[in-house]
Amino acid sequence: QVQLVESGGGLVPTGESLRLSCRVSGATFNTYTMSWFRQAPGKEREFVAANRRNGELTYYSDSVKGRFTMSRDSAESAVYLQMNSLKPEDTAVYYCATNPRLILSALRQPSMYNYWGRGTQVTVSS
């Protein structure tokens, strides 16, 4: 059974940084597409970033491109999301997700993921 555990959230002022971690167990980690999503109160869950082919390919939403960086450490079975220049609109619960059989066209669709962590809260104060 695949298990994902996020950590690293917190409360920071605008312009500051946070680094989220997602530790993976019960999976052949190197072959999995790993993704980050976020959900703000009253809004739908949205795609943030994804990492495929053991880190060779990374994709970002337009709203975070240039500010967030996703990375993978296969030895630690973990993925990370470095978030810089944070804005109040980045406030959300951030989730790590995976689907061992995910196809590229489904990358940004939360309904296509079958394993999720419980999330970590990120709050950016104005």
User: Who contacts 90 (Cβ-Cβ below 8 Å, separation ≥6)?
Assistant: 38, 64, 83, 122, 124
Model confidence pLDDT, tens digit, residues 54-99: 778 899 999 999 999 999 998 899 999 999 999 999 999 999 999 8
Instruction: Give residue for tokens 């939403």.
Output: 61
Model confidence pLDDT, tens digit, residues 20-61: 999 999 877 778 899 999 999 999 999 999 998 777 889 999
CA distance 6 to 21: 5
